[in-house]
Amino acid sequence: MEERPSGTVTFLFTDIEGSTVLLRQLRDAYGDVLDTHGRLLRQAFEDAGGQEIDTQGDSFFVAFSSPKDAVHAAVAAQQSLAEESWPEGAVVKVRMGIHTGDASLAADRYLGLSVHRAARICSAGHGGQILISQTTYALLEDQEEELPGSTQDLGAQRLKDFDRPIQLFQLVVPGLQEAFPPLRTLEHTPFDGDEGRLADAARRASLDDRETGEVIRVLIADDQALVRAGFRMILEAEEDLEVVGEASDGGEALDEVRRLRPDVVLMDVRMPDLDGIEATRRLMADAEAATKVVMLTTFDMDEYVYEALQAGASGFLLKDVPPEQLVDGIRAVASGDALLAPSITKRVIEEFVRRPPEAARTLPPEVEDLTERELEVLKQVARGLSNAEIAQELFVSETTVKTHVAHVFRKLGVRDRVQAVVFAYESGLVQPSAAQ
């Protein structure tokens, strides 16, 4: 392995803006777009001597020996993205943040605030924008490096998790977008969509195996202050969970979701003014919403279970659930690999048993896009089987099942396994008698 840059290192973070919207727009073509994006960026980074430290989905973390190399790599990457012909009218916009600082290496991972600062700088930007810290800018000035464009002083900006403001500059390159909205800093709007995921990517560069996952941002919506306080205490004890806000009713929950963009909302079923089910329905009606909802209920046989799932909830938890199950449930839903508990699956089936025959509809056109194997996998998911159990049933590997499940979600436009099960029964694709 090539030796990592050490001492004073320049870090470059990148992330696609609006990746969830792109996924919904492109569906099957999104994988090819992501591959092309990765190829273009890697080529630009390698040509400039950068070392790829970490890659998660559409995010890159790259280290350079000099600020000049990092800047040239960022510009080359943005130019390649701008020149690429993307399918179906898609626009792939990538935000980039650059910072130079001292960092130490431990087990091939970078440690230090410089890594975190670079990630936060990237998160503050917009797609197509290249942001440079004051430290990087000063080094470029001192070394009298000729830049591939000019710089625009954006002033002192307060970044999340850092007490002191930091001066940021935007690199302005002829032929690339120059005008952008205000930065997503503490003075302006909070992170939109899933930008917080990238901002926490620095954790992956320094934490041990148990802590290498993304930080999951959680909003707690419950009309009882003591319940909210209890959940907050449990969740904040976990390194990979962050409680970003609270709400006391459904209307406030919607406002806070739009403002804070959490990954998961713990939503009480029964709340005054606007209940959790209607709040979930309104939230899921937003095509750009990336937040997932876990409903909270006091009783296992809550009469609103099916209605909540139909509204778009990704799962259910009892309020008296043991702490470890609460934490594991949130992690599972956030990962998209959440499984319906057998009791919930049975309840969904029973709901359809009670319904009149006309409740089963003509198969939606999306079903025609599924291959025979994907259709088979969907039916097994509707039975409440895990990936491992499906693999045993179909005599394939669990990895193969995961791939099929991902294709099913994308083709049907569903968020997770819960919604896939609801789709299967609502469409009449699976009959209750066949799954009992």
Q: Are 10 and 70 in contact (CB under 8 A)?
A: yes
Q: What is the pLDDT of residue 385?
A: 78
Q: Are 256 and 222 in contact (CB under 8 A)?
A: no
Task: Tell me which of 387 and 247 has the higher pLDDT.
Answer: 247
The CA distance from 77 to 94, in Å, is 9
What mean pLDDT is predicted for residues 341-355? 53
- Number of CB atoms found within 10 A of residue 371's CB: 12
What mean pLDDT is predicted for residues 272-294? 84
Q: What is the pLDDT of residue 82?
A: 94
β-bridge partners, 63: 11, 51
Task: Tell me which of 175 and 321 has the higher pLDDT.
Answer: 175
Q: Which amino acid is present at 78?
A: Q
Lowest mean pLDDT among 164-173, 245-254, 274-283, 389-398: 389-398
Which residues are CB-neighbours of 419 under 8 A, at least 6 positions away?
309, 312, 314
The CA distance from 348 to 94, in Å, is 41
What mean pLDDT is predicted for residues 22-36? 83
Tens digit of each residue's pLDDT (9 = 90 or more) over 73-122: 999 999 999 999 998 778 899 999 999 998 777 767 787 788 888 988 99
Length of the chain: 436
What mean pLDDT is predicted for residues 64-74? 94
**Pseudo-torsion of CA 194, 198, 200, 206, nearest 10°?**
150
Task: Tell me which of 126 and 205 has the higher pLDDT.
Answer: 126
Q: Cα 162 from chain centroid?
A: 23
Name the most confidently modeled range: 17-31, 83-97, 294-308: 83-97
Which residues are CB-neighbours of 395 under 8 A, at least 6 positions away?
none
Q: Which residue has the tokens 């919506």?
A: 221
Tens digit of each residue's pLDDT (9 = 90 or more) over 365-381: 788 888 989 999 988 88
Q: How many CA atoms lie within 13 A of 139 on its CB side?
A: 18
Smallest CA-to-CA distance from 53 within 106, 124, 93, 126 is with 106
Which of helix, strand or coil describes residue 281? helix
The CA distance from 292 to 263, in Å, is 6
Q: Where are the strands (E) in 368-424, listed by range?
A: none
Smallest CA-to-CA distance from 125 within 75, 183, 171 is with 183
**Pseudo-torsion of CA 192, 170, 116, 8, nearest 10°?**
170
Q: What is the pLDDT of residue 286?
A: 75
Q: What percent of the chain is predicted at pLDDT more than 70? A: 81
- Number of CB atoms found within 10 A of residue 187's CB: 12
Is the pLDDT assigned to residue 196 strictly greater than 50? Answer: no
Q: Are 294 and 266 in contact (CB under 8 A)?
A: yes
The CA distance from 36 to 265, in Å, is 33
Q: Does the global pTM surpass 0.75?
A: no
Is the pLDDT assigned to residue 359 strictly greater than 70? Answer: no
Task: Tell me which of 90 and 133 has the higher pLDDT.
Answer: 133
